[in-house]
Amino acid sequence: MNENKKPWLFYALLTTIFWGVWGAFIEIPEKAGFPATLGYVVWVLTMIPVAIVALINIKWKLNKDFKSIVLGLTIGLFGAGGQLLLFEALTDGPAYIVFPFIGLYPVLTIILSVLFLREKAAKRQWFGIVIAMIAALVLSYQKPSGITSSNNIWLIISVGVFICWGLQNFVLKFANNTMKAESIFFYEMAGALLLIPVAFFMTDFSQEINRSFSGPCLAAIIHVLNSIGALTFVYAIRHGKAIVVVPMLGITPKLITIVLSLIIYSLIPGVFLVAGIILAIIAILLMLE
């Protein structure tokens, strides 16, 4: 393996593990009565110690120029804003449509990276990227709940999430050309912090909220995995091509989440899920150089 291929693969693996484990356990505090919107607040707060460790790693030499601040905050606002929009989309929209559609956001990142960053990939990798998008659709699928909305605002909001996350990863790759990865993560955290009031506004405080250990404390333990994964993701993007890293990390964490969930809840995967796993594995092998 060439030296220049090691860093992104290593960080992609770390991101897969952190995000995959996070995905398997994140529903626990929510099912215990701790709202996802407050879970967002906890998640942002867990980014702070991770950002501090990252800054220590570069001896507090933060990029402080105007361009870096704007790029970093933009990344944070796109990512966090997309998450909050997702909460809203799921309020009225059917999850079996919302999740597969949003799962295709790497397509936007790929298009922008090819057009503006001039990224290229081998034919084999392009084939893997296409299969990865198909796998993302399959793995994101959920059974229809039978609940329909009286309006289609959820669809517009879902498009907003798609755009936010697709743009976030493009800007993240673009920023890595001039900024330290640690600085990017710091400003990403700052951008997410700015949206905490929005998360509070979206929370229904008329409902009973679990304030015991199984609520905010457990959420913090779980969300810190996501925060660490967010930092390693910045490193993966820094050393790899966005057109490969983004679609790959759109499916690999889901594999870990699915396997852990099947073990935790003693479930037997259906044919549809098995097909998605097989497609994801094929895509990963094709995208690896």
What per-residue confidence (pLDDT) applies to 49?
98
Distance (Å, whole) CA 226 – CA 46: 9
d(CA 86, CA 81): 9
CB 86 within 8 A of CB 26: no
- Give the tens place of pLDDT for each residue, 18-42: 999 999 999 999 999 999 999 999 9
**146/96 Cα distance (integer angstroms):** 10
Could you tell me how many helices (H) and strands (E) the chain has, helices first?
14, 0
Nearest to 43 by CA among 263, 168, 223: 223
Residue 3 clears pLDDT 50, i.e. is over it: no
Give the model confidence (pLDDT) of 213-261 as tens digits. Answer: 999 999 999 999 999 999 999 999 999 999 999 999 999 999 999 999 8
Give CA–CA dist 80/86, Å, rounded.
10
How many whole angstroms separate alpha carbon 74 and alpha carbon 97?
A: 27
Segment holding 49, helix H or strand E: helix 36-57
Does the predicted TM-score (pTM) go above 0.75?
yes
Binned at pLDDT 50, 70 and 90, residue 289 comes out as: low
Q: Is the pLDDT of residue 6 over 80?
A: no
In this predicted model, what pLDDT tens digit does every residue of 105-163 receive, in sequence order? 999 999 999 999 999 999 999 999 999 999 999 988 777 765 555 567 888 999 999 99
Domain layout of the chain by residue ranges: 3-287
1 pLDDT band, cuts 50/70/90, is very low
> Which pLDDT value is given to residue 92?
79
What are the tens digits of pLDDT across the range 39-97?
999 999 999 999 999 999 999 999 999 999 999 999 999 999 999 999 999 887 888 78
Distance between CA atoms of residues 35 and 39, nearest Å: 6
| Contact (CB, 8 A) for 70 and 191 | no
- Token digits of residue 111: 């298009």
Spatial distance between the Cα atoms of 283 and 248, rounded to a whole number of angstroms: 8
Could you write out the DSSP letters of every residue in 186-213? Answer: HHHHHHHHHTHHHHHHHS-TTS----SI
Residue 149: the pLDDT is 55
H or E segment at 235? helix 218-239
